[in-house]
Structure formats: structure tokens, C-alpha cells
Amino acid sequence: MSASPGAAPDCSTRELLIATIAGLLDGVRHVAVGADLPIPAAGALLRRARNEMSGREAVRVSILGSQEHNFFTNGGAEVFDCAAQGRIDAFFLGGGQIDGEANINLVGAGGYPASEVRWPGCFGSAFLYFLVPRVILFREEHSRRVLVDKVDYISAPGTGTGVARTGGPYALLTGMALFCFDPARKRFALRSVHRGATAADIRANTGFDYDAPADPPQTKAPDQTTLAMLRGRVTQELAETYPQFAELLRRERAA
């Protein structure tokens, strides 16, 4: 597939993921990013920068762990309060396992409570999953170990449990592909494939079934203007919270 006019074919995979996240945040007013999520944080900062450059509605970015890009003063407690008041439009969740109904597992692999592998735990993920309208599932690793048919333990359910909810899964972004989610059908659909991967690669490395077009498009690369913004202002802003990751982005460009 040929690059679109103005596209930046020399962008790294991480830069492609950051630009894709910024696209998924189009139209949001407030995006919150949890701890230890440098790529989503960079995507949120890029969305804010793009809106400011184009004169569109300002985007509030709240990055937990940041002093400069976070108006919360009491950590997670304020995030939960803000979400309950309907004042967070987008959030990011991941999991040791994610299944085809967008259920996530943050507890461990194997039979709970005697799990063979233990992970950090839920920490309010179910609460936010029910309340934030646009939850983007993010996991760089794209494998059958992560993307499973059924999670071993449901830390946060992707769809209905008989409880009213205003939030839920919007998309799933991995290091190989982008999926959108249909809550009515409880099913993912392949939206695009990142460069270097094929539709067959996605099937081979995904443990759940999903819908897909006969010829999935390639994930759109950022244009030169977006890439310059990411490599300049966004990387500088990101370094306040994630200095090592910002330096990694700089080294990748220099390589």
C-alpha cells in the first residue's frame, strides 16, 4: 500500500501508535491517562497540541504522575470522582489478558485464586470502565497469550452485566493493529493493520474471533506536520513525566 500524500513513512512503530491514539481522541474534552502509560500519554499530548494549532476546542490532559500535565492533587481518588461526575471523556485500560468481548484481566493467569501468574490487580479499572464513555484498550504485545478467547478472570467486564453503564470499550490498539468494538454485538472488528504486518499475521496472533474486511487498510501514518509536532513539542512535554521514554523516542529518530 502506498503512503498517503504528506505521510511520514520514516516514522517508528511507537510514533505510529502515538499518532493513532491522537486520532482516537478526536472530539474529547478531557482525557485522563493512568500511571506507567507513556505511549497513551504522548498520544493525549499530541491531541492537545493538534487542537491548539488548528484552533479547535481545547483538550484537558490529566497524566497521573505528572506535576505539569495534571490538575489532580489527590491521585486516583480525584480521577474516580471526576469520572463519576461525567467529566472524563476518555481513559486507557490494558490487561494481562483481553478477550473478544473486551473483558480484561489484571489479576493473573490460571485458576483464581491459585493463579500461576499474578499481575498488579484491578485498582478501580471496573469502576472507570463503567463510567468513561471512550475507553481505549491498549497493549503493545499482540499475541495469543494476551489476546485470548476468554480471560481467566474478569477484572473489568467489557459489556453488560445487568448494571447500567455510560462507559465502555471504544477501540483496541496493539503493536500490530487497530480494532473498533461494537457493544451491541459484543465483538471487535479489525479497522487497520500497521505497516509490516498482514491480515494473516493478525489472525495468527489473535486468540479471539473478530470481523474483518477482505482487504484491511494500513494504519495511516502521521503526516509531516504531525510528526514534527510529536518530535518537538510533544516529546519535550512528555519528558517531564517520562524522561527515559522521551529519550528512547529521540534515539529511535537518530538511529
CATH number, domain containing residue 66 = 3.40.1080.10
Supply the DSSP string of 145-166, one letter for each residue. Answer: TTEESS-SS-SB-SS-SSS--S
* Residue 168 included in any domain: yes
**pLDDT score for 1:** 39
* Residue 236 included in any domain: yes
Structural domains counted in the chain: 1
Please state, in angstroms and rounded to a whole number, the distance separating the CA atoms of residues 126 and 146. 19
Pairing of strands 90-93, 134-139: parallel
**pLDDT score for 9:** 56
pLDDT in tens, 1-58: 334 444 555 899 999 999 999 999 999 999 999 989 999 999 999 999 999 999 999 9
* Residue 105 included in any domain: yes
Nearest to 137 by CA among 156, 123, 153, 118: 156
> Which structural domain, as residue segments, surrounds residue 39?
22-74+90-146+156-194+212-254
Residue 22 C-alpha cell reads as: 491522537
Supply the DSSP string of 34-103, one letter for each residue. Answer: -TT-HHHHHHHHHHHHHHHHHT----EEEETT-SSS---SSTHHHHHHHHHTT---EEEE--SEEETT--
Residue 216 C-alpha cell reads as: 484491511
Helix 13-24 vs helix 38-54: crossing angle, to nearest 10: 60
DSSP-assigned beta bridge partners for residue 178: 173, 192
**pLDDT score for 160:** 78
Average the pLDDT over 221-231 and give the result: 96
Average the pLDDT over 94-109 and give the result: 95
Angle (CA) 44 154 96, round 5°: 55
Nearest to 61 by CA among 73, 72, 52, 70: 70
* CB-facing half-sphere around the CA of 86: CA atoms within 13 A: 2
Q: What are phi and psi for residue 23, nearest 5 degrees?
A: -65, -35
* Residue 100 included in any domain: yes
Residue 227 C-alpha cell reads as: 510528526
Length of the chain: 255
**Percent of the chain whose pLDDT exceeds 90:** 81
Average the pLDDT over 124-148 and give the result: 96
Query: What confidence category does residue 82 fall into, taking pLDDT thresholds of 50, 70 and 90?
Result: very high
pLDDT in tens, 170-193: 999 999 999 999 999 999 999 999
- Asked if pLDDT for residue 255 goes beyond 80, the answer is no
* Residue 1 included in any domain: no
**pLDDT score for 253:** 83
- Asked if pLDDT for residue 118 goes beyond 90, the answer is no
